[in-house]
Amino acid sequence: MKASRKLTLKLAAPADTAPIATMSRELIEHGLPWTWTPERVARKLAQPDTLVLTARDAARLAGFAIMQFGEERAHLSLFAVRPDCQRQGVGRRMLDWLTESALTAGIASVHLELRETNLGARRFYLKQGFAETVRIPGYYRGVETAVRMLRNIGVNT
């Protein structure tokens, strides 16, 4: 994919649940039990407080994100970009889209967790204005430490 100029961002459709789940298993949950199955993604897709965003380059899924909205906080549960589309603006565009949606909904902050060993993702989120807040040993099925991150986005933050 070249510089994401052909990238289309849109809300996921039911047909996207299996490709999203597969991408989650391969890029996020590798080495852990698979929990983000197509059925779980479909349940999130049906929840009114959750956005499931897709990024496509032509017909191929380039990336996706799942974010839940609360009263003042949003939680970015899953976020992935296909390896051959990384470092081309796909993740930044998806995160900008999610942030604008959160601001429109009156959200003050976005929270997420990621594997401590995922240095590329940590650098990405730090560049996007997130701060590391805490480490949680054993967060991932007792196997791996998580880093919790936060980005204040509201006008009064």
Domain boundaries, the chain: 7-152
pTM of the entire predicted model: 0.91
Q: How many CB atoms lie within 10 A of CB 25?
A: 16
Per-residue model confidence as pLDDT tens digits over 54-99: 999 887 899 999 999 999 999 999 999 999 888 889 999 999 999 9
Per-residue model confidence as pLDDT tens digits over 25-45: 999 998 888 899 999 999 999
Round the average pLDDT of the chain to a whole number and report it. Answer: 91
Task: With beta carbons less than 8 A apart as the criterion, state whether 17 and 38 touch.
Answer: yes
What's the full length of the chain, in residues?
157
Per CATH, domain 7-152 is 3.40.50.700: no
d(CA 118, CA 75): 18
DSSP annotation of 118 reads -
